[in-house]
Amino acid sequence: MAKKAASYRMGIDLGGTKILAAVIGPDGAILGMAKKKTRDELGPDGVIKRMVDTANEAAAAAKISLKALAGVGVGAPSAVDFKTGVVYSASNLAGWDEVPLGARLQAALDLPVLVDNDVNLGTLGEFHLGAGRGCRHMVGIFVGTGVGGGIIVDGKLYRGARDAAGEIGHMIMQPDGPLCGCGRRGCLEAFASRTAIERVVRAQLAEGRPSILPELLAAEKDRMTSGVIKQALEAQDPLMVEAIGSAQYYLGLLVANLINALDPEMIVFGGGVVEALGGDFLAPIRETALPYLLQQRNADKIKIVPATLGDQAGVLGGAALLAPFTARKA
């Protein structure tokens, strides 16, 4: 790994729908960015080619040669072996299993490449350059289609013994509970993700309860987007108010468990649902969590805050993998 002090580096965020690449300066500033659709139907070969193209476009946008970069940090939406850069079973990328993404990109770009799980990198980005700046112990919770998490202990991303730590979306809240995307029952994700909120609301609609939702969904080709959830909540739609309240309750229990286990200074909430609903979404989560904290002393000082970097958290976290940032003139 190149250890150029004060170096430029690139972050690439590989998502199920889009690839984002950015050139990041030594202080964490984004100097150039490019975006492409993932087109996962092309399979790993086609998608890796698109990642290389996106990387070249980001370098061109930053007016910098790829050769000037210290390396590339890549986030993938799947389990990743951080030491080898191999991507395992990316459930939202067709045909991706045991793909040596790190080695393939390293060969194509002729640069050192590190690969990690995308949510780990989102957490790392928020820790270094977003909501978590200045703290040592932090947990990132990302609520979207699923619920993902990342854990920072003593200033470092905690990966665990098999690079598998941080899967807080699959903490068991109720052993015989609703079916989760992972095939098990009663995981937090089955109670608190956008998918779970949609399932609860649609079951109620099927029972014929009055709601503004059919009207909102019709305008979005029947897709339960974060925008639809926000509008229904703003209109005080009773089905959505109940479903969100339930999600917040389970997220509150999760937060209490995490605080009791890890004693972080801060919990940062990001992801599509949180971005759409804003900081107000977090107050009931905090209210649920606080009484469950074993250590009540200074419990009110634990910060539970929204993420600030949006969809740039992943590329910034990727850049943070390669070298520490220099202090920023803020």
The residues binding Zn ion (CB under 5 A) are: 170, 180, 182, 184, 187
Between 134 and 175, name the residue whose CB sits nearer to Zn ion.
Answer: 175
The 8-class DSSP code of residue 75 comes to E
How many Cβ atoms are within 10 Å of 83's Cβ, its own excluded?
A: 11
Distance in Å, CB of 113 to Zn ion, minimum: 30
Between 91 and 225, name the residue whose CB sits nearer to Zn ion.
Answer: 91
Gap between the Cα atoms of 189 and 181, Å rounded:
8
Cβ atoms of residues 37 and 18 within 8 Å: yes
- Nearest residue to 262 via CA among 138, 174, 160: 138
Between 12 and 180, name the residue whose CB sits nearer to Zn ion.
Answer: 180
Between 134 and 183, name the residue whose CB sits nearer to Zn ion.
Answer: 183
Between 50 and 170, name the residue whose CB sits nearer to Zn ion.
Answer: 170
Distance in Å, CB of 192 to Zn ion, minimum: 11
Gap between the Cα atoms of 158 and 151, Å rounded:
6
Q: For the stretch 143-158, what's the b/e string if a residue is b when 16 or more beta carbons lie within 10 angstroms of its beta carbon?
A: bbbbbbbbbbeeeebb
Distance in Å, CB of 121 to Zn ion, minimum: 21
Gap between the Cα atoms of 141 and 267, Å rounded:
7
Distance in Å, CB of 185 to Zn ion, minimum: 8
Give the H or E element holding residue 255. helix 238-262
Distance in Å, CB of 171 to Zn ion, minimum: 9
